[in-house]
Amino acid sequence: MMKTEPEVYEGHKDQDAANVLVIGTENTMKEYDPGIIFFFREGSVVFWNTEEKTMKNIMQVLERHEIQPYEVALIHWENEEINYRRGEGPSKLHRGEILINSELDIDEVTLEKFAFSNALCLSVKLAIWEASLDNFVESIQSIPEILKSRRKVKLSHADVMQKIGELFALRHHINLSSDLLITPDFYWDREHLEQLYDKTCQFLSINRRVKVMNEKLQHCTELTDLMRSHLSEKHALRLEWMIVILITIEVMFELGRVLF
């Protein structure tokens, strides 16, 4: 059981928001605003006005139910933090600070916080993939120099196919199975929330980071194709030599039979 005794918020419900769980907590840092926690299906958690002790307790509870968890160091390193306040005027993100309209009711505040949280979740997910791509690049960065110096590449065909599989899986996640390239359907008829979401994505440089990642992915694809081509040529050359040797052996047997 959580020590914070959170209560599930029973406010606005929408099928488009089925990938997130919203929970309220009384353990807040600011008295004038309710504490809200968003749990996203992708594995991210966004805390609003929640005590640090409460955050740590919740994270410890989540750790006991993790499936295919990321490295602990990566979890602590890849996070986003933005200050916010309640005040007069329309809600917005300005100069790195979120303003929530103090005149909104609890349902409207929750929806606006969800829009901001959705972009933050996307940024963290992208950061995880950026780290995965950096690890992949590091694992193959020595290959161009090896090929340049005409040394032997110490990778088998199976190793190369594994690298190609890792690369295509990462490319699939980024370009096909995420909201990195398009705005989620949730905002289709919610123009104000879409503006908050898009503004936060711009602040977190989502589009630019996706573009940089795709450029890296393209370079890695070209390199893995070169590796596969190199191994194919080596395999073809090996087969040619085997054929030459077999023909030579056959000729020697024929000569031996004629001479003796």
What confidence tier does 227 reach under pLDDT thresholds 50, 70, 90? confident
The residue among 184, 171, 90, 176 whose CA lies nearest residue 132 is 171
Judge whether 94 lies within some domain. yes
Judge whether 256 lies within some domain. no
Q: What is the mean pLDDT of the segment spanning 213-242?
A: 76
Residue-wise pLDDT tens digits, 135-194: 888 887 777 777 677 776 666 777 778 888 888 888 887 777 666 777 888 888 889 999
Judge whether 30 lies within some domain. yes
Judge whether 257 lies within some domain. no
User: Over 50: is that where the pLDDT of 125 sits?
Assistant: yes
Residue-wise pLDDT tens digits, 64-115: 887 777 777 777 677 788 888 888 889 999 888 999 998 888 889 999 999 9
- Count how many domains the chain has: 1
Residues paired with 38 in a beta bridge: 22, 46
- The position carrying tokens 């933050």 is 120
Q: Choose the weakest-confidence range: 65-69, 123-127, 168-172, 221-225.
A: 65-69
User: CB of 115 within 8 A of CB of 84?
Assistant: no
What confidence tier does 198 reach under pLDDT thresholds 50, 70, 90? very high
Judge whether 25 lies within some domain. yes
Judge whether 44 lies within some domain. yes
Q: In terms of residue numbers, what domain contains 178? A: 7-251
* pLDDT of res. 214: 87
pTM for this structure? 0.75
